[in-house]
Structure 1
Amino acid sequence: MFDNLLAPMGVPEVPGTIEEAVDRYVVARDAFERRAGVGVPRDMERQARAALRRAGFDQEG
């Protein structure tokens, strides 16, 4: 997730947990949306968070 998604979005270091990776992605995505003046649909985010909850990861949202 870091090499293919987070690093290109400007996240400077590898997150320590999946929860931290998701949190950093959301911050980076929000910043990108503001810079680019676009919105990214949240459908995939909701599905990914639900899957992480089912797998036992603590996800809010």
Structure 2
Amino acid sequence: MKVRIEGMSCSGCSARVEKAMKALAGIKEVRVDLADHSATYAGEVSEAAVREAIEDIGYEVKGFEA
């Protein structure tokens, strides 16, 4: 699953997003792509939980793609 993220501008931003997503129960793998402003993840976790984790650290979720 891929999530579009607005507001990431540096490697520190992508590291924060990766850390927040990896902390979610059910996440098995996360790969953040700063250039594409997205993160791809695998695991059993709701879109709502992913959205909350990302927005809680100050970024905006623009949508999800399968």
- With CA pairs under 8 Å and 6+ residues apart, which has the higher RCO, 1 or 2? 2
Normalized per residue, the structure richer in strand is: 2
Common topology (TM > 0.5)? no
Tell which structure's C-alpha radius of gyration is larger.
Answer: 1
Q: TM-score, normalised by structure 1?
A: 0.33
Normalized per residue, the structure richer in helix is: 1
